[in-house]
Amino acid sequence: MIRNFILFILIIIAAFACSYNSAKENIIFIKGSDTMFLLTKNLSDEYMKTHPFVSIYVEGGGTELGVKSLSNGETDICTASRPLKPAEVKMIADKYSIIGMQTLIAKDALSIYLNPKNQIDNLTLEQLRKIFTCGISNWSEINGSDQKILPIIRPPNSGTHFYFKEHILDGEEYCENAVVKSTTNEIINEVLQHENAIGYGGIGYKEGVIHAKINGISSTEENVIKNLYPISRYLSFYTLDTPRGIVNDFINWVVSPDGQKVVEKSGYISIWLNK
């Protein structure tokens, strides 16, 4: 009797374990870039329509947080709007003896957001650098209205913050008076509320702001594809190793024609158009 009871308990435990593992295999956790949040959410929602037994949970928080979560085993995919830093690659390598795997999923341009009432609609890269490092502090210095410039930026854990600092500011520090906002939507809201404000974010975000020309070139899809617009970058998924199972299936779908249609509908540029 006791032997049968123990056998029964073992069967229940085994069944529970199998059920748990099966459920876990059908769940994907994604965390990282705030710029990529809406894009990744759109991709996940579309994928789950044809894969009803798969659940995908998407979080933002910034590229830096996504990398830490990936390294700690808390997420399956890290979304990143910049390449991993050498220190981040080392962190993964020290823990797992691997350097992670990058999959390019879309191309993005970094737009410069202005209030619709701003008289300025075109900036040079040099003016942009000076504005965000306090070298230019009033719009009147570049033929605008006599108003103090209010720069709006992303926090240091953001991949966009890092990309902009490295590629536009040439590594210089941001203005001390710059207002920090956690998400791209918050930057847009701030720019819309203040005529003197300037911010940045992905081209996929419209929301009523003006997307300034840079060096006379608009951030249109055609200009980004032809590499004419000077502020563009690739958006990536990072996994610890070669993806397997449902994670691999999802990533393969994302880079397939069906997935890339969602990329384009979300306001970004398909990786297959960049040739």
Does residue 6 carry a pLDDT above 50? no
The pLDDT tens digits of the residues spanning 83-139 come to: 999 999 999 999 999 989 999 999 988 999 999 999 999 999 999 999 999 999 999
Other Cβ atoms closer than 10 A to 45: 12
pLDDT at 237: 98
pTM: 0.78
pLDDT at 13: 38
Residue 30 Cα to chain centre, angstroms: 11
The b/e string for 113-125 (b: 16+ C-beta within 10 A; e otherwise) is: bbbeebebeebee
The structure tokens listed for 54 are 């798969």
Are both 2-107+234-273 and 109-232 of the same fold? yes
Mean pLDDT to the nearest integer, 246-272: 95
The pLDDT tens digits of the residues spanning 174-230 come to: 999 999 999 989 999 999 999 999 999 988 777 799 999 999 999 988 899 888 999
The upper half-sphere exposure of residue 273, i.e. CA atoms within 13 Å in the direction of its Cβ, equals 19
pLDDT at 22: 35
- How confident is residue 274, by pLDDT bands cut at 50, 70 and 90? low
Q: Is 99 left (phi over 0), alpha (psi -120 to 50) or beta?
A: alpha
Q: Which residues contact 177 (CB under 8 A, 6 or more apart)?
A: 134, 150, 151
3-class SS string, the chain: CHHHHHHHHHHHHHHHHHHHHHHHHCEEEEEECCCCHHHHHHHHHHHHHHCCCCEEEEEEECHHHHHHHHHCCCCCEEEECCCCCHHHHHHHHHHHCCCCEEEEEEEEEEEEEECCCCCCCEECHHHHHHHHCCCCCEHHHHCCCCCECEEEECCCCCHHHHHHHHHCCCCCCCCCCCEECCCHHHHHHHHHHCCCEEEEEECCCCCCCEECEECCECCCHHHHHCCCCCCEEEEEEEECCCCCHHHHHHHHHHCCHHHHHHHHHCCCECHHHCC
pLDDT at 54: 97
Q: What angle do CA 100, 102, 103 make, to 5 degrees?
A: 145
The structure tokens listed for 123 are 């900036």
Q: 2-107+234-273 architecture in CATH?
A: 3-Layer(aba) Sandwich (3.40)
Mean pLDDT to the nearest integer, 130-153: 97
Among residues of the chain, what percentage have pLDDT more than 70?
91
Name the residue ranges covered by the structural domains of the chain.
2-107+234-273, 109-232
pLDDT at 201: 92
Does residue 2 carry a pLDDT above 70? no
Greater confidence, 33 or 203? 33
Superfamily the domain 109-232 falls into: Periplasmic binding protein-like II (3.40.190.10)
